[in-house]
Amino acid sequence: MNRAPVSGHSGLGDAANRFLASMTITFDMWHDGEGYDLTALAGISPSERAAIEDILIRHQPRDWRDIEALAAFDSAPARDAIVAALEHPDPQVRHEAMRYAGGKADPVKREARLIDALRTRGLYHGLSEAIDEAAEFHPPGVIEALLDGALHRDGEAAVHFAALLFFLHGKAAEPFDWGQRPFFLRFQTADRRERGAVFRALCATIGVDAGRYLRPGESVG
């Protein structure tokens, strides 16, 4: 939430300055996932749009809200900034850029970044966005990362991986089927034998060989 305040400009109108004020992220905005004031942005005069667009393009550190706001500008510089954000190190920024420029993403790089996020990120530090992306983009390497994570990652991540694997293999109608939540919650364990047993049940349901994901000396219960 450490975003530098964005100052108003005396040469801009009320709507433009309301929008600039909304670029200073408060705790409530951060906590609730609230974006900038897009209503104010829509009310900015045509003569002011270039100035606001330039501020958004130059704004650092980059935030997913910048991408959402830039999508409101039908201009080459705004589109270029969104495409560039597909390579951004912040998963939330990349996730937002995918909404508007997903067709521009290099599939090989996208897969590599997604696999890395599934393996290393915490649920509130990019993993949630990675899970959402994997529901839509899941080449074989992503499926493998989900299966390995369901067996080896922490319980919180494993619960969501198991749910998504059910969905991707046609065993659920949505990425987290609440009707099957009791089964998914069985992955919320640090006991390796229990995790192995529920992983084996998962693999039997979706038609995958559980043994492929064992590490040396490991069993699945």
Distance CA 220, CA 158 (A): 15
Distance CA 162, CA 13 (A): 51
- pLDDT grade for 214, boundaries at 50, 70 and 90: confident
Look up residue 133 and give its two tokens: 């992306």
Peptide bond into 61 cis (omega under 30): yes
- pLDDT grade for 125, boundaries at 50, 70 and 90: confident
Per cent of the chain over pLDDT 70 is: 94
The pair phi, psi for residue 125, each rounded to 5°, is -135, 40
Distance CA 194, CA 89 (A): 35
- Does residue 155 carry a pLDDT above 90? yes
- Does residue 168 carry a pLDDT above 70? yes
> Quick one: average pLDDT of 89-106?
90
- Does residue 165 carry a pLDDT above 80? yes
pTM: 0.74
> Which CB contacts under 8 angstroms, 24+ apart, belong to 38-41?
38/68, 38/69, 38/72, 40/15, 40/16, 41/15, 41/69, 41/72
Mean residue pLDDT of the chain comes to: 91
> Quick one: average pLDDT of 144-154?
97
> Quick one: average pLDDT of 56-84?
95
Distance CA 175, CA 168 (A): 8
**Rounded (5°) CA angle 128-132-135:** 140
- Does residue 96 carry a pLDDT above 80? yes
